Amino acid sequence: SERLASTLAVEFRGAMALQLATRAASWLVALVAAWQLLRYAARHVAYGPPPRGPLARARARWLRGHMESWLRISSTFDSVLSGVTIEHIDEEGHIRASVVAAGLLLGADGFLHEGALFALVDTLTGMGQIAAGLFPGLTAEISLTCHRRVSAGERLYAEGRVVKVYENPLVVMQMDVYSAPHEASEKHLVATGKHTKSMRRPFIE
pLDDT in tens, 81-118: 999 999 999 888 899 999 999 999 999 999 999 999 99
Half-sphere exposure of 187 (CA within 13 A, CB side): 14
pLDDT in tens, 25-51: 888 888 888 888 877 666 655 555 555
| DSSP secondary structure letter of residue 126 | H
Measured CA distances, 102 to 16, 40, 50, 162 (Å): 82, 49, 37, 28
Cα separation, 47 vs 165, whole angstroms: 8
Higher-pLDDT residue of 175 and 19 is 175
Query: Checking phi first, is residue 152 left (phi over 0); if not, alpha (psi -120 to 50) or beta?
Result: beta
Q: Does the pTM exceed 0.75?
A: no
State the average pLDDT over residues 164-169: 81
3-state helix, strand, coil in the chain (%, to 5): 45, 30, 25
Checking if the pLDDT of 53 tops 70, the result is no
103 CB contacts (<8 Å, ≥6 apart)?
Answer: 83
